[in-house]
Amino acid sequence: MKKTANPMQPVTNFSRPALGFLLAVCLMLVFQSSRRLTTQAANPDPSVWKLVWSDEFNGPDNSAIDSGKWTAQVGGHGWGNQELEYYTKRLDNAYQARGSLTIKVLKEQDTGADNVTRAYTSARLTTKNKFTAAYGRFEARIKLPYGQGIWPAFWLLGDNIDSTAWPTCGEIDIMENIGREPGLIHGTIHGPGYSGGQGPSSAYSLPGKQRFADAFHVFAVEWEPGVIRFYCDGVLYATRTPADLPDGKTWVYDHPFFIILNVAVGGGWPGSPDTTTVFPQTMLVDYVRVYRRKMPAAQPEN
């Protein structure tokens, strides 16, 4: 008679290779689950923050940006950073598709109305004269491009820049990445006497060999009187207060700022593209949201 196993008896004769395989599968599932958690940051506490402005980029596929919210800045004069791209207002460089904004960097020669010729085109979108805010939580969910010489950014600039020159107007870099550092972002403030390489800055890196180009991540600042907190995927990685400024320098983050999204090519910091850089490159933006604190904080939260 054929002997059969008791269905109520535990099976204990797994081979070591089989157990090793099962353990590897379990670890992979745990890793993937934790990764999803880090790229899907929780929404701000609705008892603390009220949504006051947003763009969810849910327009028809291949449609233009919402001109009621954004202006595409145009030019190829280097933008103060020796950049190599020409920013255009063409649909080729900025459009909505599948629920996201796409900023696309193309390797192509382009000559603008200012007779400047560049070898790359991209887009730089701003809410200047359309939306500004003093204080609040500024947040965007973005999948970054990558590669040597590629420089994506999500940042704020003081709305008085036309009458008060940079850096006195103030700048808050919520997220900057240089493509040769695919797993690292930077959060920085710039002001009078502490700009460029002297701006107080902190970096946040992904664990292991993860890249910001492999998944969407949430970048945010919470800006209140006397304090700016920097977050990536819900993790607080830097806090800036007037105490971080060089002696005698002025904290200029007390007036409205507007939002900028752009992908630069080249410049003094990232350097130029090389033979390893792949084109086109795209930055995908799922949303940009701005929240206002419902009740003022009793004191800066460090």
Mention every residue, 6+ apart, whose C-beta is less than 8 A from residue 263: 85, 103, 105, 122, 123, 145, 150, 151, 152, 153, 281, 283
Backbone angles phi and psi of 283, in degrees to 5? -110, 125
Question: If DSSP codes are grouped into helix, strand and coil, which group holds residue 243?
Answer: helix
Residue located via tokens 């292991």:
208
Q: Supply the DSSP symbol for 133.
A: B
Alpha carbon 98 to chain centroid, angstroms: 19
- Residue bearing tokens 């382009």: 110
Q: Which two tokens stand for residue 265?
A: 């090519």
User: Of residues 83, 85, 139, 171, which has the active-site annotation?
Assistant: 171
Token reading at 182: 């695919």
What is the spatial distance between Cα 225 and Cα 247, in angstroms, rounded to a whole number?
Answer: 19
Instruction: Considering the candidates 176, 181, 222, 301, report the single residue annotated as catalytic.
Output: 176
Tokens of 233: 């995927």
Examine the residue annotation and report whether 222 is marked as an active-site residue of this protein: no
DSSP 8-63: TSPP----HHHHHHHHHHHHHHHHHHHHHHHHSPPPP-TTTEEEEEEE---SPTTB
Active site residues: 171, 176
